[in-house]
Structure 1
């Protein structure tokens, strides 16, 4: 029997527990979050700064009721890459601002019309596999970070990966009392020690880094063509956001779509993206890695998330510290991600179980089957410069199928109404 106490969303956490729990969340998001600025060839310091600011804004907008850490969004990579190549990074920033602004308008529309439509377009038989795909489609990324997909696998990477994953898995099962709520942090430390022992950590950049350094702030420029290339991403990030809020609701045992409301979380997410574009950072989004941390540790306190945000802001100004964190090797990040991404997939299956989805009904079988295949098959749908694939494509397919089935129900044409 698991006797670990759940630390709920609004609970205060003692300082001696707050620091390691916050570090755990920061390490969980770090690998993926700094990857985006490295692809755009900008300093990760401004991204760490905005991740922290965006998370604190999100907590404020949602009245401290929706635990979520905002990290760098991968949804913008393809269109922003085209804009950067043709116009420059400043014009991509203008596109980020436009998407964030339109997302805030969408949040107002949701506020006016409510969220009942979600039950129509994403019933449990559709929402379960969509949420599961959030974790499952990232499984390849975890393996890639660990170096397990390289043409020639380095035994040192395998050792570090196994130490990290083993510590995280068995720590979550065996650790007790204080250690039972920080298995991810302990796994990161164990993996890092193993990486140093294996000689795959390079400290030369840490030695050369300044002690203190200001993030590089950049102002956006606006071009209609550049904005129109990036704007369709709004569909992607909205689908992703709804999925994240649903899975977080299942983990914490509260309906976050109702309280604080989807309109608040959607506004906080997109307002953060808009501010990111205004200061030179990349768009932000609620992070699956941190949802996984909450699922493993049963610690849902927004104060812990806020502590991670403050640490992220501090790291953006301390050059040596932010550089030291960047030395965490891929096998460590991959080992942690293996467990965290899987926990998200399991949460999707939990939706199906909790909702007692009846698979003797053909509609439920068809919905879940088609959504899983659409998300995992590698199919891509191109709309201009936007490519829908994976979870987002599956979500769109599921919404269309669910809406058609709903209309057929209203016309009394479906055979399971007999």
Structure 2
């Protein structure tokens, strides 16, 4: 039986594979990453530029040992939207810089005190469902982006969107189990191409759309903006650090499981957090949006078994170039929602399955009541839609469930030290 070859983190990739593999990563993150600047009503070109630069910095700071692509963070949408409406986007940039600096400070604290506390505050019975929720809570988003779920009763589901979504998803699924050799490592890219062609035939996009994209000026300069600082805006945005820290730890743990290495120890959680913080700060100084490690690209690695940081760096360089080359940026921008949704549908499910793997690899014993309670409460908190409001910051989904999981884990740890747990017998 032929087993798919794993391309490890430090492994070099032959040139004929490097470009398609890099494009695969670029396309996987594109839809979600440009959505944030569109919501903020800024030019996505500067975001593509800083995503690429941030990713290269991440690779440099983590010594090329942690494969991760940095894309636009959704965690800031709520508080930053309020700041923008009240004072303007430059004041949101000031808040982004302060949050990035706070992440750098947190990384120094972790460097000083280590990561053993993670096993106490988030044991496998808690971390497994938290990681799973990273993908599961995005399932509806993938379906809505793909046009197979109506966003409101007044918006009908278009059959042509469903067709493109299903073709994209089918090629991705079948490609992962049927493709061999060269094609076995680029099933996501092939699925995107198949979905794009189907979208042309189904007239989800038109030849006119392609013509407009190709005929834009070749050289395009991103629109840079300078930040401004206001204490009220900073206070409004700063609590997002809770979201970013939880998300980052979850992503690093699930990536560790995928590449079969403990990235929290080597290169270290302090290095990856530091890189994330510096990238977010730099983005704030030039008018971009905060960055974060991306679940879509983690999903690509899980599906293709290609973990090489060389490929991630290639995707980052393509992102940087596309920020300046007008036709490239516009062509990528024409990728329709049903194609992005079809790919995301599978990738988010893969992340959910990785959370289950955390519990399996951790040999969680569910005959112990503490483990059963931890997993149950975390799952139901994350999927129930329960929210907690702290000022302008809303905690819900994976972030709220991880905070609840940490609280319960610490409580159970204290009970165990006091010999009060009934499953210690």
TM-score bracket for the superposition, by shorter chain length:
over 0.9
Residue 279 of structure 1 aligns with which residue? 286
Kindly indicate whether residue 171 of structure 2 is the aligned counterpart of residue 164 of structure 1. Answer: no
Deviation of the 1:152 alpha carbon: 1.3
Match of 2:386 among 379, 383, 391: 379
Instruction: State the shift of 1:334 in Å.
Output: 0.3
Q: 1:226 aligns with which of 227, 230, 233?
A: 233
Q: Return the alpha-carbon distance in structure 1 between the equivalents of residues 302 and 374 of structure 2.
A: 26
Question: How many angstroms apart in 1 are the aligned matches of 2:156 and 2:221?
Answer: 40
- Counterparts of 1:54-133 in structure 2 under 5 Å? 54-133=54-133
Deviation at 1:209, TM superposition (A): 2.3
Aligned counterpart, 2:149: 149
Alignment of 1:272-351 (within 5 A): 272-351=279-358
- Equivalent in the alignment of 1:369: 376
Paired with 1:208 and 1:389, the residues of 2 have a C-alpha distance of: 44
Question: Aligned-pair distance for 1:207?
Answer: 4.7
2:28 is matched with which residue? Answer: 28
Q: What is the alpha-carbon distance in structure 1 between the residues aligned to residue 401 and residue 278 of structure 2?
A: 26
Show the counterpart of 1:203.
210
Q: Does residue 1:180 correspond to 2:184, yes or no? A: yes
CA distance in 2, matches of 1:208, 1:20: 24
Q: Give the structure 2 partner of residue 237 of structure 1.
A: 244
1:189 pairs with 2:196: no
Pick closer, same or farther for the CA change 1:63–1:198 going to 2, 3 Å.
Answer: same
- Aligned residue for 2:364, secondary structure, equals coil
Q: Distance in 2 between matches of 1:158 and 1:55?
A: 34
Distance in 1 between the 2:46 and 2:109 partners? 31
2:204, 2:303 → 1: CA distance? 28
Is 2:5 the counterpart of 1:5? Answer: yes
Q: What does the per-residue CA deviation read over 1:15-36, in whole Å, with 9 as the maximum and x for residues that have no partner?
A: 1110000000000000000000
Inter-partner Cα distance in structure 1 for 2:355 and 2:108 = 28
Matched residues in 2 for 1:393 and 1:102: separation? 20
Query: Residue 320 of structure 1: CA displacement?
Result: 1.2
User: 1:205 deviation in Å?
Assistant: 4.0
2:202 and 2:300 map into 1 onto residues whose CA distance is 27
Change (3 A) 1:55 1:398: same
Return 5+ residue gaps in structure 1 as ranges.
Answer: none
Residue equivalent to 1:246:
253
Shift in Å, 1:203? 2.9
What is the CA distance between 1:148 and its match in structure 2?
A: 1.3
Structural mapping, 1:395-414, within 5 Å = 395-414=402-421
Q: Does 1:257 align with 2:264?
A: yes
Contact 2:214–2:330 (CA under 8 A) maintained in structure 1: no
Aligned counterparts of 2:35 and 2:386: Cα–Cα separation in 1: 25
Tell me, yes or no, if the aligned pair for 2:214 and 2:331 is still in contact at 8 Å. no
Partner SS state of residue 260, structure 1: helix
Name the structure 2 match of 1:40: 40
Is the contact between residue 131 and residue 251 of structure 2 (CA under 8 Å) also seen in structure 1?
yes
CA contact under 8 A between 2:148 and 2:165: conserved in structure 1?
no
Rounded Cα–Cα distance in structure 2 between residues aligned with 1:327 and 1:235 = 34
SS in 2 for 1:382: strand
- State the secondary structure of the residue aligned to 2:251: helix
The alignment yields a C-alpha RMSD, in angstroms, of 0.8
The 8 Å contact of residues 132 and 351 in structure 2, kept in 1 or not, is answered as yes
Q: Output one character per residue of 1:342-391: Cα deviation in whole Å (capped at 9) or x when no partner.
A: 00000000011111100000000000000000000000101110000000
- Give the CA deviation at 1:270: 1.1
Q: CA deviation at 1:206?
A: 1.1
Q: Secondary structure at the match of 2:292?
A: strand
Q: Which residue of 1 aligns with 2:399?
A: 392
* SS state at 2:423 partner: helix
Distance of 1:334 and 1:149 partners within structure 2: 11
Shift of 1:175: 0.3
